[in-house]
A and B are shown apart, each in its own frame.
Chain A
């Protein structure tokens, strides 16, 4: 691990100033410390923000508001989350081991780095780690890589389960920076790799995620997260689907769908959503949504299987939601 100086800060202004001067925030540390040990990350100054107050979950009139320093485990078990946003609880529980859920913050979860093995291997070319060095995955072992949002420079998937649920639910993040506070949609927090895959998000220098706002919606309590993976627990997604449905009087009023494990950022499935609206719930509607979800998929040499898996996972998740065997029920 490269040397760094360490400072624990007590207030947001000091933290933001330290980051604006080049410091790196550390909260749970579960991604950053690991990558620092591998010498993939080499911050010269660590700014420990764990004493900042953004740890609570509260219910506002229009949204559930989750402090960015709240831990995954605490959010997953919070009564307001379990009652009003069971999709978030389910995605968090499926997202990491109990130990890591006790450590990892919500803000850090959203900003976790990719799990592409070449990103972690210092002697392999990787445009995310060393811009311009090339992408080893495009011609390499890419069974775990993306179908959507890829470029000739990077094909890594975004690894967060929580982010998939938040994108489906139209959540936003509140960002506090050196001069202003602003809100952006979680979906727009992430950049597509394009020709600058080392730039992963749209935070400005010094900006700190202080909270996540999840708007109340008629479908939030009728939602599921299905995570397909190589073992039953504690593993990253091969394919995952977050689905929420508002079914009133036997008709789908609104649908929200996003997928993980398939996109270079959490991948919203808008064509499937639009097709579901106004339909009667049932096998035909779920299958149609699945077919639309894979439209435009660009498989790599090793991940063709993900196309069919995504189609089936979308249909399966919608069926689970409609059957009402919800995580929060």
Chain B
């Protein structure tokens, strides 16, 4: 507990930066190599180091879901994990789900059902929705709501989001 003894002191944490770690990630089918301070979250690696700004930073503490990506096919909060913990992993972001100019069916359903207003939570909603459909948790609106509850929409577009996920699940 040595660290706790000084934990009341507010500092910027700026001591000597730790040495960078070289990792590689298979992102949206493309192999990317990057050297990172081990403190870098997967979210910051995507946005600040790999020019993939579709994934959004909302709360940065795992509560809002705006940063949802798929790692080896599973949806996670990319803000709550370090990039170095995913060396060699397969990452899918919102930039990777359309087929060229053809939208992913869930992207198209979001447009059809007006499932957003400001759009900031939308990439996370869609990535979470893609996983929710793949997991098979779309049997009813209640089930969709429960299994999409890790994604918050402050504009309150939930009825459209639930309808879009339900439609894409049925089409899929």
Contact = CB atoms under 8 A, between A and B. Distances in A.
B117 interface: no
B16 interface: yes
A6 B11 contact: no
Contacts, number: 128
A43 to B, nearest CB: 7
Contacts of B75: 98-99, 102
B105 interface: no
Given A3-B17, A103-B80, A98 B145 contact: no
Contact of A103 (B13, B38, B77, B135): B77
Interface string B97-132: 000000000000000000000000000000010011
Interface string A25-64: 0101110011011111111101010100000000000000
Given A1-B13, A98-B147, A233-B145, A198 B4 contact: yes
A6 B80 contact: no
Interface in A86-138: 96-100, 102-103, 122-123, 125, 129-131, 133
A26 B80 contact: no
A5 interface: yes
Main secondary structure of the interface of A (DSSP, over half): loop
Contacts of A131: 1, 4-5
Nearest to B131: A98
Interface of A: 1-6, 8, 26, 28-30, 33-34, 36-44, 46, 48, 50, 73, 96-100, 102-103, 122-123, 125, 129-131, 133, 198-199, 232-234
Contact of B38 (A6, A28, A37, A129): A6
B64 to A, nearest CB: 10
A20 to B, nearest CB: 15
B55 to A, nearest CB: 13
Interface in B117-172: 128, 131-132, 135, 137, 145-150
Given A100-B80, A103-B76, A233-B149, 14 more contacts: A3-B15, A6-B82, A28-B81, A34-B62, A46-B82, A97-B77, A97-B150, A99-B65, A99-B68, A99-B75, A99-B77, A131-B1, A131-B4, A232-B146
B11 A39 contact: yes
B29 interface: no
Contacts of B17: 3
B39 interface: yes
Q: Of A29, A42, A99, which is in contact with the most chain B CB atoms at under 10 Å from its CB?
A: A99
Given A3-B39, A6-B38, A131-B4, A98 B62 contact: no
Interface string B21-40: 10000000000000000110
Contacts of B8: 122-123, 125, 129-130, 133
Closest 10 CB pairs of A and B: A97-B150, A233-B149, A42-B3, A6-B38, A234-B149, A130-B8, A3-B18, A102-B74, A2-B13, A1-B39
A33 B81 contact: yes
Contact of A48 (B85, B131, B146, B147): B85
B40 to A, nearest CB: 9
B4 A130 contact: yes
B93 interface: no
18 contacts: A4-B39, A28-B81, A29-B80, A33-B82, A34-B61, A34-B62, A36-B39, A39-B13, A46-B38, A98-B135, A98-B137, A98-B147, A99-B68, A99-B75, A99-B128, A102-B75, A130-B5, A233-B145
B1 A41 contact: no
B10 A122 contact: yes
A122 B145 contact: no
Given A2-B13, A98-B150, A99-B76, A122 B7 contact: yes
A233 B146 contact: yes
A75 to B, nearest CB: 14
Given A2-B15, A99-B65, A30 B7 contact: no
A274 to B, nearest CB: 36
Q: Of B9, B84, B85, B137, which is in contact with the most chain A CB atoms at under 10 Å from its CB?
A: B85
Contacts of A1: 13, 39
B41 interface: yes
